Amino acid sequence: MKYILVSGGVVSGIGKGVIASSTGLLLKTTGLKVTSIKIDPYMNIDAGTMRPQEHGEVYVLNDGGEVDLDLGNYERYLDVTLSRDHNITTGKIYKEVIEKERRGDYLGKTVQIVPHVTTGIQDWIERVAKLPVDDTNEEPDICIIELGGTVGDIESAPFVEAMRQFQFRVGHGNFALIHVSLVPDMHGEQKTKPTQATVRDLRGLGLMPDLVTCRVLVRKPLSIETKRKISMFCHVAEEQVIGIHDVSSVYHVPLLLQEQGIISFLQRKLDLQSIYLSKELTDKGSRLMARWKEMTDVIGKNHYLDVVSIVLVGKYTDMPDSYMSVVKALEHSAARCQRKLNLQWVAAEHLEPTHKIENPVQYYDGWKNVVAAQGILIPGGFGQRGTEGMLLAIKRAREYKVPFLGICLGFQMAVIEWARNVSGLDGATSTEFNAETPHPVIIYMPEVSKTHMGGTMRLGLRPTVFSSDSESWSKARR
């Protein structure tokens, strides 16, 4: 098993997930079997109870796991099916270590961060990395591990130390480190000091980057002079300095990495040529790269395509990452249909009559977008805020026959709108909003806890069982 660790420095949120996914994609195009693990250093057991405005989307896996949105990137880029164990959090590790201590597994030893927590992290990674994740149902060849947060953070220290030990546990020939750093562009001049500082911190913690990937937050690529300077002060060769500047779509990032020779470097560093690759998998990898280039060609030329305008009416529109999977699905659909997507964001509460008085500009702007939309989409959410605005948008879609898609809460609101305005059930609503409603058209699932929020919902891929008498009337069954 080969391991590639992707860490980050200077600031968080500079694209480690996209770079990790893109690296995995390129490796998969060579015929290798790739899996991914995301480490999140927060104390939560999972992402299920975190505010979307703070953390972005909570991605739900087939096994019902509520995980970081980067696992959605992994599944989309690598065409794999991950499990909740592929997302490691401090909460999960501490919970496992404490349970072992309570059982007496440590035989009376003093339980410490080193070695017990760090060993627990390494054991978890080795166990999960071997799980089959694709249609071959075989053990993967390579595991890409993304270390969330920023090197130097207090909360990530146990994971950094675990990775320092892990490189010796698996052997240097089976371990590579990609460190993602920020190169600010100050009035046209690219500054290297932040990257020098973060690599120095990383080396002080016992990890030496094999590749330094530099994020340049402008359209200008990393210059040759900047690359040479980073090479000189960060103790890496020039070929080990990779530049990732802003591009029109994140789907161009794999091609940027490929142009700069990242795969040939990793093949040498990890001796990937020694891994047996069947002709079936290499041919499949070649077809994947051909499809990827075809998709990026369509996205790159989308200014020549017909525009399709979709309005997303949601509760968390101030943080677009809250709906990342929905947005990616729309982007993929537009590319497949040879259309240019024009996605408009509308906060659901801006459509409510009370907002017309509080902020008439937002009210009329919101309705302008809804009225002009060729399609209306309402995604998931929790709580009553904005639901009346959703009902008004759904009514507009129904009465004017505008294509509509409701997901989770959005579909629940469509049921409520139909019950009130078509079936004549005045006051129909969800028991989540009003436990005493005379018409509870949406109810709690029996297993849902009303006191504990985390891990109690019915989630993931589940079979749907139709009753024997539903064949005559159920359109879904047909």
pLDDT band at 446 (very low <50, low <70, confident <90, very high): confident
Model pLDDT for residues 217-268, shown as the tens digit of each residue: 999 999 999 999 999 999 999 999 999 999 988 999 999 999 999 999 999 9
Average pLDDT of the residues of the chain:
92
Q: Name 215's Cβ contacts closer than 8 Å, sequence gap at least 6.
A: 14, 15, 180, 181, 182, 183, 244, 245
- Residue 400 CA, chain-centre distance (Å), reads 35
Among residues 171, 173, 148, the alpha carbon closest in space to that of 159 is found at: 148
High-pLDDT (> 90) share of the chain, %: 77
Look at residue 468 and give its three-state secondary structure.
Answer: helix
Q: Name 160's Cβ contacts closer than 8 Å, sequence gap at least 6.
A: 7, 147, 151, 205, 207
- Based on DSSP, count helices (H) and strands (E) in the chain, helices before strands: 16, 17
Model pLDDT for residues 76-104, shown as the tens digit of each residue: 999 999 999 999 999 999 999 999 999 99
Average pLDDT (400-427) is 95
**In this model, does residue 374 exceed pLDDT 70?**
yes
Looking at residue 271, its pLDDT comes to 95
pTM for the whole structure: 0.90
Looking at residue 260, its pLDDT comes to 95
Looking at residue 170, its pLDDT comes to 97
Model pLDDT for residues 36-80, shown as the tens digit of each residue: 999 999 999 998 888 887 888 899 999 999 999 999 999 999 999
Looking at residue 206, its pLDDT comes to 95
**In this model, does residue 457 exceed pLDDT 80?**
no
**In this model, does residue 359 exceed pLDDT 80?**
yes
Model pLDDT for residues 177-231, shown as the tens digit of each residue: 999 999 999 988 999 999 999 999 999 999 999 999 999 999 999 999 999 999 9
**In this model, does residue 163 exceed pLDDT 70?**
yes
Rounded CA separation 265/135 (Å) = 28
Looking at residue 169, its pLDDT comes to 97
pLDDT band at 451 (very low <50, low <70, confident <90, very high): low
pLDDT band at 400 (very low <50, low <70, confident <90, very high): very high
pLDDT band at 432 (very low <50, low <70, confident <90, very high): confident
For the ranges 271-285, 290-304, 450-464, the maximum mean pLDDT occurs at 271-285
Among residues 90, 208, 215, the alpha carbon closest in space to that of 157 is found at: 90
**In this model, does residue 433 exceed pLDDT 80?**
yes
For the ranges 52-61, 303-312, 330-339, 368-377, the maximum mean pLDDT occurs at 368-377
Q: Which residue matches tokens 């005045």?
A: 426
Rounded CA separation 169/338 (Å) = 49
Looking at residue 282, its pLDDT comes to 94
